[in-house]
Every structure is written in C-alpha cells, then in structure tokens.
C-alpha cells in the first residue's frame, strides 16, 4: 500500500478532520505505542499501520 492510498482510505472512511486527528494523536498499542504517523515515520509498512487502525476501529473487512 502506498502512503497516498493510506491517506485516501483513512479520509474516505473517517472523514478528513477525524482522519488527520486520528493519525497524529491516537496511540495504537499494535504499533508499539506509536501514533500512525510516528509508526510510518519509523519505517513500519503503511499496510500494517492501516490494518492496525482497522482493527482498533472495527473497519469492515471489505473496506480493509
């Protein structure tokens, strides 16, 4: 998954304001206690970050 796809999916599913806040402010245990942005900057695969968000927020499988 490319970074552009990540942001597009995040915005499509959560809306632009919530997506931005979630990615920068919410700490995910599945990402080692990092935010999504921190995890991506640390080199975690974007797909892994997206799936961690999907698990945390119960995104339907068809949208993952």
Per-residue pLDDT, 64:
86
> Could you say which DSSP state residue 39 is in?
H
The three-class DSSP label of residue 45 is coil
pLDDT digits (tens, 9 = 90+) for 12-40: 999 999 999 999 999 999 999 999 999 99
Global pTM exceeds 0.85: yes
Summarised one tens digit per residue, pLDDT across range 40-61 is 999 999 999 999 999 999 899 8
């Amino acid at each position: 998954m490319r970074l552009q796809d990540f942001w597009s999916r995040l915005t499509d599913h959560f809306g632009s304001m919530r997506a931005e806040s979630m990615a920068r402010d919410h700490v995910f245990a599945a990402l080692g206690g990092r935010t999504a942005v921190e995890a991506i900057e640390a080199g975690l695969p974007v797909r892994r970050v997206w799936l961690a968000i999907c698990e945390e927020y119960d995104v339907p499988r068809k949208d993952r």
